[in-house]
Amino acid sequence: MKILPPYSGRFEVGAVDLELPVREPRDFLPEYLNPILVNKLDRHGHKVGNRKARKVYEACQKSAMPENASKEEEAFSHDQAWLNQARYLSEKGYRFDNAILRFQTILCTMYYPSDIKRKDATLYPNVAWLGRPFKKTMLPVLDYMSMYGSWAKLFFPVVLQMGRFHLQARVALPLADPANVSPALSQGTFEGDTRNLDKQKFPVVIFSHGLGGNRLGYSQFCGELASHGFIVAAIEHRDGSGLGSFVWTEVDQLLYSKDSPLDKKTQKRLRRLRAWGAAESVYNMPIGDDGEDDATARNKADEPLGKDMKNLQNMFAKVPYLPFESVGLASFMDKQGEKETGLRQAQLAMRAAEIEEMVFVLNRINNGDCDFLASLRTRSLGTSLCGAKKYGGARKRLSLPRVTEFFAKWKGQMDLKFPSLIGHSFGGATLFEYLRTDQEHFQYGIVLDPWMDFVRDPATDKSVRGCLNKPTYVINSEGFTLWREHYNKLCRVLMDGVVNGHLDRGWLFTVSGANHTDFSDMPFLLPGIFGSALPAKDANRTITTLTIEQIISLRQQKHLRQIETGSILNDLGTHKQNTKMGGLRLNGDPDGQKPSQNVFNKLYSAALRSRGSKKKNPFLWELRGWREGGERRPHGHHLSKASGDDMKREGRTSRNSAREDTFSEVSVQGSGEDLKPQFIDPVQHSEDQPDPWEGIVIDSDARRVYDVWEKQVYHKLGRRYPYSMITFALWLMGIRGGFAVAGHVL
């Protein structure tokens, strides 16, 4: 067994699984896709042919609504139609083998702080990185790898290697006391009630993973946040974009089928559970005995129903990664058309629905509704994280509390008035689209290396222009910043936040030498394949430090605003870390006044200049960005600072002093307008040179966050350049170094 590196925070980190049925189950498949083609039907474990499956599904659709239904019957809820379809399939012995874009349950892993002593924490089992049982969790990984051709089978030993890794997080540790959390993090938790001034709460983060990710794939990032006092809900999306998941959905097979291994009395009790809303799974559902009241049945032991059934493997639906070419669409490596874009938008819509559902679940927990969890949960807290044997042994050995007792201690401990939303890659795209809606849960978003291809562009789609009215803070990898059209679109999208915000307008940092995978666990698991010019530990420290410090800044600003409005008492004498409110500073605009609309109209249409770029499509996105940067300066340190000859010829350096022209970041040459990224590197300046921050378009929070990173991380960074397949590929391309020393934040 291999353990990932320890977290740097003061707390131990616990982890538990939560899977619950959603309030409004529904499909997100676009109309032009055949559900039978995406989610295959099977009967008694055998696949059903497409022609027969189509007939079965048509009959199933009719069963949801009787032909001679009255208007009152036609108005019944969507939930009932969903259940009618499920009942029809179960009675006929059919089931969906897959559940892609079928919004049925919400699954997440909760990473949370624990103040248990380290010696006592070792008695609890570690979370397995691939989850358990290994045979089932390994299959989605192999399916995902098979998309890249038969040669990918050669990497089967790599999957076995990944299966040996375990997290530092341990299953079902007791929750810490929020009074031990740093006061800087707990600020902003008071909402108009001065009697609770001394009560601290845990800041909450909801995390959205990228393509090929899952709830455990970013454990180092999520666990690092938890070790500093955050509660992180890492969602496992079931939209077909993840590595693979399982939905315990086949309760209908047991409820209605004549071939069910359950007796009629048990089926009746299960149908009673369904009446409570527990319609999505029975894998770990408590079942009451005859004569027991509902409350007793809901709080029954965690023993999983059907644990001894031979056909248990047929009691769940798989959610594999969905290759577009498998449903007749273009691969994501090829040019994307209207249908491909529509399918991606459907995935983004389902991801947004999962975020909404996650907020609802967290509020129920925070309100102390533990019976809700005990009666409706569809898996145990730790069986899928460490295995049934280890979790069962720990429960007996440590007398672990059951669900109701475990979450009873969470009542009122989470600050859900000011939560954080964070996403990586496709999860970053999810944030952009979600924050454009009328949601009121999140006041800001932190985006890690977003994949912008399917984010609607305000330059071409005026319906989304001005809709991003929440500040967004972006941490980019060097490869994605050098990817010309990608960075270009990102800047246009971020302009919305600048236009709509006066105080907090966001920032964009680039971690020099970082690759797209540095935001996940992959460099820790397989450094020889996914390592970048920046060691995995240093990259993780940089990303988490920037994230934590920005959240602290926002929470402190909220705290100050509450004091100014009289919502809470003035406690600045006890909280001395409060800072002034952030705000954008444009060149020649020291007071952060809102620029004219003409300026932003030009910024929307601006394009990042890249000379000699070729229309090639390398296999990896980061290689695309590195290639374009390398073509601009193929012999090292492309996009270097003031020493760049072409930048000098254009009359620009990274240390421009403030000028009167508020539009100085955009230059018009020839027939096109070019947005030039203003890279600044304060670490490199000396006392006799002007302040490199002067005259730069930034949110003032960026200066504070950078200073904390420089103090806590930069001076501790190693100067080791790891060797990996990615860095070797860059070396072959003539790219020997980035536009700054690896690890710099620009």
Instruction: Give me the residue label for tokens 């350096």.
Output: 653
Mean pLDDT computed over 43-58: 80
* Domain annotation covers residue 255: yes
pLDDT at 289 over 70: no
Give yes or no for residue 270 having a pLDDT over 70: no
Per-range mean pLDDT, top range of 111-125, 158-172, 630-644: 111-125
Q: What is the predicted pLDDT for the residue at 342?
A: 95
Per-residue tokens: 558: 């909220």
Q: Calculate the average pLDDT of the chain.
A: 74
Say if residues 473 and 479 touch (Cβ distance below 8 Å).
no
Q: What's the pLDDT score for residue 581?
A: 37
More confident of the two residues 149 and 204: 204
- Paired tokens of 442: 């999140």
Q: Which two tokens stand for residue 474?
A: 């972006």
Residue 318 within a domain: yes
User: Given this model, what pLDDT does residue 454 score?
Assistant: 93
Split into its structural domains, the chain has a count of 1
pLDDT, tens digit, 9 for 90 and up, residues 297-328:
444 433 333 333 334 444 578 899 999 988 88
Distance CA 85, CA 254 (A): 15
| Contact present, 88 and 254 (Cβ < 8 Å) | no
356 pLDDT tier (thresholds 50, 70, 90): very high
Please give the Cα distance from 442 to 632 (Å, whole number): 40
The model's confidence at residue 691, banded by pLDDT at 50, 70 and 90, is low
Q: If DSSP states are collapsed to H, E and C, what string results for 335-399?
A: CCCHHHHHHHHHHHHHHHHHHHHHHHHHHHHHCCCHHHHHHHCCCCCCHHHHCHHHHHHHHHHHC
Contact 432, 493 (CB under 8 A): yes
Q: Is residue 279 assigned to a domain?
A: yes
Q: How confident is the model over 33-45, as a mean pLDDT? A: 81
SS (H, E, C) 620-631: CHHHHHHHHHHH
Q: Is the pLDDT of residue 710 over 60?
A: yes
Kindly state the tokens that stand for 311.
Answer: 């056909």
Nearest residue to 37 (alpha-carbon basis) of 49, 27, 19, 22: 49
Amino acid 177: pLDDT:
94
Higher pLDDT, 344 or 375: 344
**pLDDT digit string (tens) for 540-549?**
999 999 999 9
In-domain check, residue 374: no
Predicted confidence band of residue 355 (pLDDT cuts 50, 70, 90)? very high
In a domain, 284, yes or no: yes
The reply to whether 209 falls in a domain is: no
| 482 falls within a domain | no
pLDDT of residue 55: 84
| Cβ contact 207:15 at 8 Å | no
Q: Is it the case that residue 527 has pLDDT exceeding 50?
A: yes
Confidence category of residue 566, pLDDT binned at 50, 70, 90 = low
Share of the chain above pLDDT 90, in %: 32
Supply the pLDDT for residue 199. 66
- 3-class secondary structure, 545: helix
Asked if residue 146 belongs to a domain, the reply is no
- Give residue 413's pLDDT band: very low, low, confident or very high (50, 70, 90): very high
Could you list the residue range(s) of the whole structural domain that residue 295 is in? 22-103+248-326
Q: Is the pLDDT of residue 76 over 70?
A: no
Task: Give pLDDT, residue 122.
Answer: 94
Looking at residue 18, what is its pLDDT?
A: 94
> What's the alpha-carbon Rg for the chain, to the nearest Å?
27
